[in-house]
Amino acid sequence: MQVFIATMACAACAAIWYASTSLAAQTQTLQAAITIGETMTLAFEPNATGYSCTVMDVRGDFVGCKADTSIPGRTTHEHWYNLRLVTRIDRPARQ
């Protein structure tokens, strides 16, 4: 009976350890090194054209972009994109 209890305790510890390691992988934050004021292009399909973005804020997995203000008299909007859905980020090359 003691061997059965010890085996069940080991199995329970293994199950708890496995659950905690898989949860940690899902809760990792993205490390894209996105900075406020940076201009980039976000694409949601690998070979599609993307959306131009001037970063105004980064909150967790979301990036907030300023709307293009080059058109006078047009209402400006904020756009928020989920970085987990982005397949490609294009940035100007650093000199």
In a domain, 27, yes or no: no
The answer to whether residue 70 sits within a structural domain is yes
Number of domains in the chain: 1
Flag whether 53 is in a domain.
Answer: yes
The answer to whether residue 86 sits within a structural domain is yes
> Which residue range forms the structural domain that includes residue 60?
39-90
Percentages of the chain per state (helix, strand, coil), in multiples of 5? 25, 30, 45
Q: Is residue 22 part of a domain?
A: no
- With a CB cutoff of 8 Å and minimum separation 6, the contacts of 67 are 76, 77, 78, 79
Instruction: Decide if 69 is inside a domain.
Output: yes
Rounded to two decimals, the pTM is 0.58
Sign of CA dihedral 45, 46, 52, 58: positive
Q: Tell me, what DSSP letter sits at residue 30?
A: P
Task: Evaluate whether residue 21 is within a structural domain.
Answer: no
The answer as to whether 1 is a domain residue is no
> 27-41: per-residue pLDDT in tens?
445 556 888 999 999
If you search the block for the tokens 């199995």, which residue do you land on?
Answer: 11
Write down the pLDDT at residue 64: 93
Q: What is the pLDDT of residues 59-92, one digit of tens each?
A: 988 999 987 666 677 667 789 999 999 999 988 8
